[in-house]
Amino acid sequence: MELICKEDTEMLKDVKAIKEVVLTGNDLSLEQLIAVSRYDAKLSFDPDAVARIKASRALIDDIVNSDRVVYGVTTGFGSLCRVHISKEDCAQLQENLIRTHSCGYGKPLSREVTRAAMTIRANALVKGYSGIRLSTLQTLVDMINKGVHPYIPEKGSLGASGDLAPLAHMVLPMLGLGDAEYQGTVMPGKEAMEKAGIPIIHLEAKEGLALINGTPILTAMGVFALWEGMSLLKQSDIAAALSIEAQRGIIDAFDERLHVIRPHRGQLDTAYNMRNLLSGSTYVTHQGQLKVQDAYCLRCVPQIHGASKDALGFVKEKVDIEINAATDNPIVLPDGDVISGGNFHGEPMALPFDFLGIGISEIANVSERRLERLINNSLSGFPSFLVKHSGLNSGFMITQYAAAALVSENKVLAHPASVDSIPSCENQEDLVSMGAHAARKAGEIAFNARRVVATEILAACQAIDLREGEGFKLGTGTQAAYDAVRKSNDFIAYDKDIEMFKELEKITDLVQAGGILEAVEDKVDLKFF
């Protein structure tokens, strides 16, 4: 068994420590994006980018002045690309684009997803391939820094040509239109900009297209699903370790010698985590001591959790690329060439975000199975539903029902969105990615999975308390987890003393805030990536 140590192997850095992020267009990290989006780190852009942005803009001005035919600059959009736009109308074309494309529907994106989308778009523009004016980019950055958050409905994107409808809503307040949230209040966009001291702008040629023709909305939604999933995967290892101790499970299944002969990275990391979490535990047993082997949900934790870790590792690689990519159309190259292509297409992220949803869904699936084993007297030997005086008291009975409902919903949500398509724009845009759907579903799956894992953790701690007096000792990592839980939630002796949903809300909030994870990682090293 490895020595327990705090190595610098953690993927989840203390993003709160990041106070400023300088955009270069090439090296925005996931942690930096979270710092800006969730913890209000300030944004600036690399001074070296100024020359690139100005050079790119000069090329657009030259195109307009020379009346050169370039898609979206001197032509209409989509199937209207065959319609020539005069020099005099190029600016009006861009404002019209924003006014007509802002047709999203549904509840607004969260504050943090909105900020992430704006940051991703700004980082793409900093690359200098979009032909936007420096002043327009500065307006977008000022909105992020001063907290003007456009009201962006969550539905309406096909994920190609990018996130047109929701991004148009992002631009509206820049023009003094639409709505925005400022200091906790939703108000007209013009009012929000005035209160924040940010002048509204008038778009010039290509600028509207540069702002809305890309994938930042679907990417931002997927980023927060990924971030949630990364935290949840570590916490699912903690949940499993607590459940194993409660049921006096067999630790041999996590022996390093077993896993190095099937060396999937996620499997190796999970087995390592389980050994560290359970180090020093006297609850755990060895094969043949009480039983020969455990059920799959206990014995196969490295293989099951590990596969999800590998899935999320793949998704993160794609996210790292996408948040540093130029995703609009056309692309303005430094040599003066303007290439109309398909960098706005969401397919490179649609498939990974579908995979993300599947990976997180499976974590909830196996967690619910461990929950069932804890509360089922015939499987665990504990009092039915983990309550001493069952019959009058139902204890944890319906927690499994609720968890089962969530995992069943996740199975529906895990159906890939990316296998669907529907033609648009007079069949010019004849295969779209549905990447925004994939990302939004992954977020909902993560939301559901959080509750399932939290329920397992609470039930496992209840079961451990039912073994009080048996003289066993928790592992170093699991003891830290147990202590964190008991600061939030007490042992449940009688139904009359609790309202179960309130108990579940407390433990779910603790999981979401990372309180359990933080307590554990202060004591032991947990690997992921």
Residue 457: which H helix or E strand, with range?
helix 435-466
Burial letters for 139-165: b for 16+ Cβ neighbours within 10 Å, e otherwise?
Answer: bbbbbbbbbbbbbbbbebbbbbbbbbb
Q: Is 284 exposed, middle or buried, given 0-12, 13-18 or 19+ CB atoms closer than 10 A?
A: buried
- Rounded CA-CA distance 387/377 in Å is 11
Question: Does 71 participate in catalysis according to the annotation?
Answer: yes
Among residues 71, 129, 151, 182, which one is catalytic? 71
Classify 44 as helix, strand or coil: strand
| Cβ proximity of 435 and 421 under 8 Å | no
Can you say how many angstroms the Cα of residue 227 is from the centroid of all Cα atoms in its chain? 4
Tokens of 74: 């001197």
Largest CA distance in the chain: 87
Tokens of 16: 């709160």
Q: Residue 430 phi/psi, 5° resolution?
A: -95, -5
- Rounded CA-CA distance 391/1 in Å is 43
**What is the number of alpha carbons within 13 Å of residue 379 lying toward its C-beta?**
19
Among 168, 173, 164, which Cα is nearest to 99's?
168
- Please count the residues of the chain: 529
Per DSSP bridges, beta strands 20-23 and 42-45 are parallel
| Cβ proximity of 384 and 390 under 8 Å | yes
Classify 188 as helix, strand or coil: strand
- Rounded CA-CA distance 100/93 in Å is 11
> For 88-190, where are the E strands, in sequence order?
105-108, 148-150, 153-155, 179-182, 185-188
Q: Catalytic residue positions?
A: 71
